[in-house]
Amino acid sequence: MRGVKESRLITLGRHALLLLFVLISVYPALNVLSISLRPGNKLRSTELSIIPENWTLDSYVQLFTEQPFLQWLGNSLLVSLAVTLLGVGLASVGGYALSRYKFVGRQTSMLAILTTQMFPATMLLLPIYVMIARLHLVNTFLGLLIFYTATALPFCLWQMKGFYDTIPFSLEEAARMDGCSRWKTFLKVTLPLAVPGLVITALFSFMTAWSEYIVAAVVLEDREMFTLPLGLKSFQATMSTQWGLYAAASMLVSIPVVVVFMLLSRYLVSGLTVGGVKE
């Protein structure tokens, strides 16, 4: 493929640089793995090997037996899945409207939606907390759900709108000639073609909820209501931090996300509409 052969030195330099970046991104994760396997509660160690000599799964066992880890996992899953369903559901129809229909204020509302993304979440913390408090939703999953969906939706809407824009309108016209109503056209033709977009949107919604800490810390109060990030942080007490538990839980929290990413990666490279029309 390459026309000009580059010098060996440049190749070496390129790889050295890449390795450096890999090291920077992988080292912290490996370090956490290492801590989680150490016996006792040691943050620092003189050992260099990733898997310590006297490694043990005690921290993991403790997590499930002595700590409400499963409870937190359930909470997190419940909230994250609800946010995903709500986010994808709303974004799939909302994005469609923004993409296909010309209505008064379309441009303005799209800009307004985008603008909300400019504010940092911490800035919205207070006003939304006040709203949630007035609605008596403090310390409820519903309060958290509203908060998360509201912050994830703008991005999801834009994402879906952009995706629908790439689906040729003539496909929908063909479906309408074939006897579909608008709604049926959406369900039978547009939505199936938007699956890659839906997957990305779902992933984003899920991640937003799964790894969020600050909002959850404000809304949730009881330890048994905690989501995983809150639960993790609770190992870090003022006087002593249970590093082993902290690290073990961190590993367990990351795994589902990594797995989901790997499973869905093929959708991240879209290409489903190829061949239907010729432009």
Partner 1 sequence: MAEIRLNNLVKRYENGFQAVKDANLEIADGEFLVLVGPSGCGKSTMLRMIAGLEEVTSGDVFVGDRRVNNLEPGDRDIAMVFQNYALYPHMTVRQNMSFGLRMRKTPKAEIEKRVADAVQILSIESLLDRRPKELSGGQRQRVAVGRAIVRQPKAFLFDEPLSNLDAKLRVQMRTELARLHQRLKTTTVYVTHDQVEAMTLGDRIVVMKDGIIQQVDSPLNIYRRPVNRFVAGFIGSPAMNFLEGEIADGIFKSGEVAYPLNQNGLSGPAILGFRPEDLTTDPSQPKILDAELEVVEQMGHETIVYFQLAAQPMVARLEGNSGSSPGDRLALGLPQGTWHLFESTGDQKRMSD
Residue 114 or 187 having the CB closest to partner 1: 187
Nearer to partner 1, 30 or 195 (CB): 195
Q: Which position among 137, 138, 150, 174 is part of the footprint of partner 1 (CB under 8 A)?
A: 174
Using the minimum distance from each CB to partner 1, give the nearer residue, 21 or 101. 101
Of 16 and 177, CB closest to partner 1: 177
- Which span sits near partner 1 by CB under 8 A: 16-24, 55-63, 87-95, 171-179? 171-179
Least separation in angstroms between CB 1 and partner 1: 24
Given candidates 124, 142, 171, 260, which one binds partner 1 under the rule CB under 8 A?
A: 171
CA nearest to 162, candidates 94, 77, 209 = 94
Residue 107 interacts with partner 1 (CB under 8 A)?
no
Q: Binding partner 1 by CB under 8 A: which of 63, 175, 200, 203?
A: 175
Kindly determine how many residues on this chain lie close enough to bind partner 1 according to the rule CB under 8 A: 25
* First-last CA distance in the chain: 28
> What is d(CA 117, CA 142) in angstroms, rounded to the nearest whole number?
22
What contacts 70, CB < 8 A, 6 or more positions away? 64
Region for 105 from its dihedrals, namely left if φ exceeds 0, alpha if ψ lies in -120 to 50, beta otherwise: left
Residue 178 interacts with partner 1 (CB under 8 A): yes or no: yes
Distance CA 194, CA 91 (A): 12
Interface residue with partner 1 among 170, 236, 241, 265 (CB under 8 A) is 170
Which residue in the set 181, 236, 241, 265 belongs to the binding site for partner 1 (CB under 8 A)? 181
Q: Does 179 bind partner 1 (CB under 8 A)?
A: yes
Query: Is the Cβ of residue 128 or residue 189 nearer to partner 1 in the bound state?
Result: 189
Q: Which is nearer to partner 1, 211 or 270 (CB)?
A: 270
Which range, of 63-71, 80-88, 143-151, 187-195, touches partner 1 by CB under 8 A?
A: 187-195
Q: Nearest-CA neighbor of 215 among 113, 85, 117, 120?
A: 120
Contact mark string toward partner 1, 244..273, x via CB under 8 A: ----------------------------xx
**Tokens, residue 207:** 């991640």
Mask for 188-227, x = binds partner 1 (CB under 8 A): xx--xx----------------------------------
**Which residues here bind partner 1, judged by CB under 8 A?**
168, 170-171, 173-181, 184, 188-189, 192-193, 272-279
